[in-house]
Structure 1
Amino acid sequence: MELISDIKCFGGKQLRYKHQSVVNQCEMVFSIFLPPQCDERLVPVIYWLSGLTCTDENFVTKAGAQRYAAEHGVAIVCPDTSPRGNNVPDDKEGAYDFGLGAGFYVNASQEPFNQHYQMYDYVVSELPKLIRQTFPVSGKASIMGHSMGGHGALTIALKNTEQYLSVSAFAPICSPMHCPWGEKALTNYLSSDIASWFEYDASELLKVANLYLPMLIDQGSDDSFLKEQLKPHYLLNVADAVHYPLKYREQPGYDHSYYFIASFIGEHIQFHASYLYGISDKSPVLI
């Protein structure tokens, strides 16, 4: 790894690194906030997945999360949203909703994207291993994200319930199988065979969930993408049918921006910290 930046923040350190990714076959960049408690002990970690067009830096500079992470003694890891580099294929028309900046946290199987776009394996396996080997973090982890990253956080958590203690999302894409963003990404990264899409759709994964992970979702009522792209009713209908006790909050007047995230990020970090530190009496249970 190569250190890009090291900045003191709320008694801790906001760090940025680049490294060669084996699964994505390119150089990847990630950011990590280490709270001041790292000077004394190992701390649990929260993984943050960002949305379309973002990099690892959007959350770091806009969400104001470091203050709360320092208060609760948790590290926050922010990977990039896609592979990067001259040899990494992009959307043919340079559109913002596919290709660079839009990896959708899937393992691509379609050429030419299958060589580099293995973001699912990167987030689930390669990056956490690197984090555990390099930084003073414990084996306890949670995951959260926004929009495309909310989709990533929900699907990754639902498929890896043994790896995370809790999951949360801001304005997640709740059923990519049923929205333009998701249909485009899944068709090009996977195939036109809809059967291959199910494992990357949170609403479908919730139908077969056999373990309840604490789940918090915030959605702004004035989000311009709410009806066409995000479609939380798919997830809520499934949760009701299978009695999955997720906590869904519609926040009146909020949009899709980082102003929305900054308004509630403290509550999300507190939510995760309660499980990472065993404060909450509600643990993952079989359903």
Structure 2
Amino acid sequence: MVEVVSEARSHGGRQLVLRHDSRATGTPMTFSLFLPPQAEQGRVPLVTYLSGLTCTHANVTDKGEYRAACAELGLAFLAPDTSPRGDGVADEEGWDIGLGAGFYVDATEAPWSAHYRMWSYVTEELPALVAAEYAALDMSAQAITGHSMGGHGALTVALRHPGRFHAVSAFAPIVAPSEVPWGEKAFSRYLGPDRAAWRAHDAVALIEDGARVPAIRIDIGAADPFLERELRPERIEAAAADAGIELILERRSGYDHSYFFISTFLAEHLRWMKSRLG
């Protein structure tokens, strides 16, 4: 059962915030869904947006500035949380692990494995839930994007579900989490010490191991303080070139890692996605 937490009219559409009890995480989960005005007349494509470290559904909902473009293009926009939350959910000191930092994996290590099943949540449970609740969503026409940790999530989800998503993009993604501090910290705790198990959640490794999508669009802020240490876009440039994957990589002069950057270029990504969704 889905509970409507809030609803507001925007650009002729409906901005919803919703809550439900998740089987995957064993916790209540909150997400947002924008239904464009076209959803009142027929079915519309669905764009899923995965958020980054420390975020909830609210960051992109409040700061993403996507609704005007979604209303113009006739796109629904789904934004889940980044981790389970609530009493009894494991956490650890630091903002890059635990609450707000689920890394879109199904944890196999205690204590995380009890609730941190964000891979199953975003790839299975949440899509099935919104499809059942909102008949206007055309689940045969999906795209996915995300920011930072969520960019990592969007890339890995698309690479492992190539028939589901017609377009994949990312903002400042962690493209090779197995090779950078954020990813090494998260994967070692959630997935254990066997680095071979990490490759299923590493976009560069997935491409090296044969995963393919027709095209990827990535925007990076050239003034992003995490660019060299955590994001390393040159790794996916090399992997995509070797694999023959079309990569549109924009380095935006003067832009950083924030929602000022994302909100500036999110509409461009939505238009690109719409062109691939038909």
TM-score (norm 2): 0.97
1:127 aligns with 2:131: no
| Correspondence list, 1:214-225, <5 A | 214-225=215-226
Query: How much does 1:206 deviate?
Result: 1.3
Do the aligned partners of 2:12 and 2:71 also contact (CA within 8 Å) in 1?
yes
Query: How much does 1:275 deviate?
Result: 1.6
Query: How much does 1:63 deviate?
Result: 1.1
**CA–CA distance in 2 between the matches of 1:263 and 1:209?**
33
Do the aligned partners of 2:216 and 2:245 also contact (CA within 8 Å) in 1?
no
State, as a whole percentage, how many aligned pairs show the same letter: 44
**CA–CA distance in 1 between the matches of 2:232 and 2:211?**
23
Paired residue for 1:282?
none
Do the aligned partners of 2:160 and 2:211 also contact (CA within 8 Å) in 1?
no
Q: Unaligned 5+ residue runs, structure 1? A: 279-287
Paired residue for 1:162?
163
Q: What number of residue pairs does the alignment pair up?
A: 275
Which SS does the other structure have where 1:86 is aligned?
coil
Paired residue for 1:264?
265
Amino acid at match of 1:84: R
1:98 aligns with 2:97: yes
Paired residue for 2:84?
83
Which SS does the other structure have where 1:262 is aligned?
helix
TM-score (norm 1): 0.94
Amino acid at match of 2:142: A
Paired residue for 2:44?
43
Which SS does the other structure have where 1:33 is aligned?
strand
Paired residue for 1:275?
276
Amino acid at match of 1:256: H
Which SS does the other structure have where 2:246 is aligned?
coil
1:111 aligns with 2:110: yes
Amino acid at match of 2:52: G
Query: How much does 1:208 deviate?
Result: 3.0
Query: How much does 1:200 deviate?
Result: 0.5
Which SS does the other structure have where 2:152 is aligned?
helix
Which SS does the other structure have where 1:16 is aligned?
strand
Paired residue for 1:143?
144
Which SS does the other structure have where 2:262 is aligned?
helix
**CA–CA distance in 1 between the matches of 2:32 and 2:89?**
21
Query: How much does 1:211 deviate?
Result: 3.7
Which SS does the other structure have where 1:250 is aligned?
strand
Which SS does the other structure have where 2:175 is aligned?
coil
1:21 aligns with 2:7: no
Paired residue for 1:61?
62
**CA–CA distance in 2 between the matches of 1:133 and 1:222?**
42
Which SS does the other structure have where 1:151 is aligned?
helix
Query: How much does 1:209 deviate?
Result: 3.5
Paired residue for 1:177?
178
| Correspondence list, 1:203-282, <5 A | 203-276=204-277, 278=278
Q: Which runs of 4+ in 1 moved over 6 A?
A: none
Which SS does the other structure have where 1:24 is aligned?
coil
Do the aligned partners of 2:37 and 2:71 also contact (CA within 8 Å) in 1?
yes
Do the aligned partners of 1:165 and 1:214 also contact (CA within 8 Å) in 2?
no
Do the aligned partners of 1:223 and 1:256 also contact (CA within 8 Å) in 2?
yes
Query: How much does 1:241 deviate?
Result: 1.7
Query: How much does 1:253 deviate?
Result: 1.0
**CA–CA distance in 2 between the matches of 1:96 and 1:173?**
16
Paired residue for 1:285?
none
Do the aligned partners of 1:46 and 1:75 also contact (CA within 8 Å) in 2?
yes
| Correspondence list, 1:182-197, <5 A | 182-197=183-198
**CA–CA distance in 2 between the matches of 1:111 and 1:235?**
31
Query: How much does 1:244 deviate?
Result: 1.5
Q: CA RMSD in A?
A: 0.9
Do the aligned partners of 1:154 and 1:167 also contact (CA within 8 Å) in 2?
yes
Give the stretch that moved more between structures: 78-87 or 201-210: 201-210
Query: How much does 1:210 deviate?
Result: 5.0
Give the stretch that moved more between structures: 169-178 or 200-209: 200-209
Amino acid at match of 2:230: Q
1:210 and 1:196, CA in 2 relative to 1: closer, same or farther beyond 3 A?
A: closer
Do the aligned partners of 1:221 and 1:253 also contact (CA within 8 Å) in 2?
yes
